[in-house]
Structure 1
Amino acid sequence: MDLQDDFVKKMVEEFVPIHKFLGLKLVDIKTDFAKVKVPFRSEVVGDIRSNRWHGGIITTIMDSVGGLVGGTHLSSLEDKMSTIDIRVDFLRPAHNEAIIVEGETVRLGKRILVTKMKAYLANDPKQELIAEGKGVYSFIRLKENS
Structure 2
Amino acid sequence: MDLQDDFVKRMIEDFVPIHKFLGLQVLDIKKDYVKVRVPFRAEVVGDIRSNRWHGGIITTVMDSVGGIVGGTHLSSIKDKMATIDIRVDFLSPVHGKAIIVEGKTLRLGSRIFVANMKCWLEEDPNKEVLAEGRGVYNFIRLQKG
| Aligned positions, number | 145
Alpha-carbon distance in structure 2 between the residues aligned to 1:108 and 1:144 = 16
- Give the structure 2 partner of residue 93 of structure 1: 93
SS of the equivalent of 1:58 reads helix
What TM-score does the superposition give when structure 2 sets the normalisation length?
A: 0.99
Determine if the alignment matches structure 1 residue 40 to structure 2 residue 30: no
- Give the structure 1 partner of residue 3 of structure 2: 3
What TM-score does the superposition give when structure 1 sets the normalisation length?
A: 0.99
Shift of the alpha carbon at 1:3?
Answer: 0.4
Backbone CA RMSD of aligned residues: 0.4
- Give the structure 2 partner of residue 20 of structure 1: 20
Give, as a single letter, the amino acid of the residue that structure 1 aligns with 2:45: V
- Give the structure 1 partner of residue 112 of structure 2: 112
Shift of the alpha carbon at 1:10?
Answer: 0.6
SS of the equivalent of 2:130 reads strand
Moved over 6 A (4+): none
Give, as a single letter, the amino acid of the residue that structure 2 aligns with 1:98: A
Shift of the alpha carbon at 1:32?
Answer: 0.3
Give, as a single letter, the amino acid of the residue that structure 2 aligns with 1:117: M
- Give the structure 2 partner of residue 74 of structure 1: 74
Shift of the alpha carbon at 1:68?
Answer: 0.3
Alpha-carbon distance in structure 2 between the residues aligned to 1:65 and 1:83 = 11
SS of the equivalent of 2:86 reads strand
Shift of the alpha carbon at 1:144?
Answer: 1.1
Deviations 1:6-57 (A, max 9, x none): 1011101100000000000000000000110000000000000001100000
Structure 1 portions without partners, runs of 5+ = none
